[in-house]
Amino acid sequence: MQTIKGPALFLAQFIGDEAPFDSWDGITKWAAECGYAGVQVPTNDPRILDLDRAVDSQDYRDEFLGIARQNGVEVTELSTHLQGQLVAVHPAYDAGFDGFAPARLHGDPKARQEWAVDQVARAIRVSRLLGLNAMATFSGALAWPYLYPWPQRAPGLVEAAFDTLAERWRPLLDLADEQGVDICYEIHPGEDLHDGVTFEMFLDRVGGHARANMLYDPSHYILQQLDYLQNIDIYHDRIRMFHVKDAEFRPTGRQGVYGGYQGWADRVGRFRSPGDGQVDFGGVFSKLTQYGFDGWAVVEWECALKHPEDGAREGAQFVRDHIIRVTPHAFDDFAASGTDRAAIDKALGLA
Compute the Cα dihedral for 100, 106, 107, 110 and give only its sign: negative
138, 129, 109: which is closest to 56 by C-alpha? Answer: 129
DSSP per residue, 110-157: HHHHHHHHHHHHHHHHHHHHTT--EEEE---BSSGGGSS--SPPPTTH
Cα distances (angstroms) measured from residue 302 to each of 13, 147, 161, 311: 8, 24, 30, 8
Number of domains, the chain: 1
Using CA atoms, how far apart are residues 213 and 339, in angstroms rounded to an integer? Answer: 44
Model pTM score: 0.95
3-state class of 42 per DSSP? strand
Using CA atoms, how far apart are residues 203 and 200, in angstroms rounded to an integer? Answer: 5
> Rounded to the nearest 5 degrees, what angle is found at the Cα of 104, between the Cα atoms of 119 and 166?
35
> Rounded to the nearest 5 degrees, what angle is found at the Cα of 140, between the Cα atoms of 110 and 268?
135
Backbone angles phi, psi at 87, to 5 degrees: -65, -30
Q: For every one of its 351 residues, what pLDDT tens digit does the chain have, with 9 covering 90 and above? A: 899 999 999 999 999 999 999 999 999 999 999 999 999 999 999 999 999 999 999 999 999 999 999 999 999 999 999 999 999 999 999 999 999 999 999 999 999 999 999 999 999 999 999 999 999 999 999 999 999 999 999 999 999 999 999 999 999 999 999 999 999 999 999 999 999 999 999 999 999 999 999 999 999 999 999 999 999 999 999 999 999 999 999 999 999 999 999 999 999 999 999 999 999 999 999 999 999 999 999 999 999 999 999 999 999 999 999 999 998 876 666 556 666 888 888 888 997
Q: Is the peptide bond before 151 cis (omega within 30 degrees of 0)?
A: yes
CATH classification at residue 112? 3.20.20.150
61, 90, 73, 62: which is closest to 30 by C-alpha? Answer: 73
Measure CA 226 to chain center: 17
Q: What is the pLDDT of residue 333?
A: 64
Backbone angles phi, psi at 118, to 5 degrees: -65, -40
3-state class of 347 per DSSP? helix
Q: What is the pLDDT of residue 347?
A: 83
- Alpha helices (H) in the chain, listed in sequence order: 24-33, 51-56, 58-70, 81-85, 94-97, 109-129, 157-179, 196-205, 218-224, 228-235, 281-290, 308-322, 341-347
Tell me if 202 sits within 8 A of 162, measured CB to CB: yes
Domain that holds residue 128: 5-347
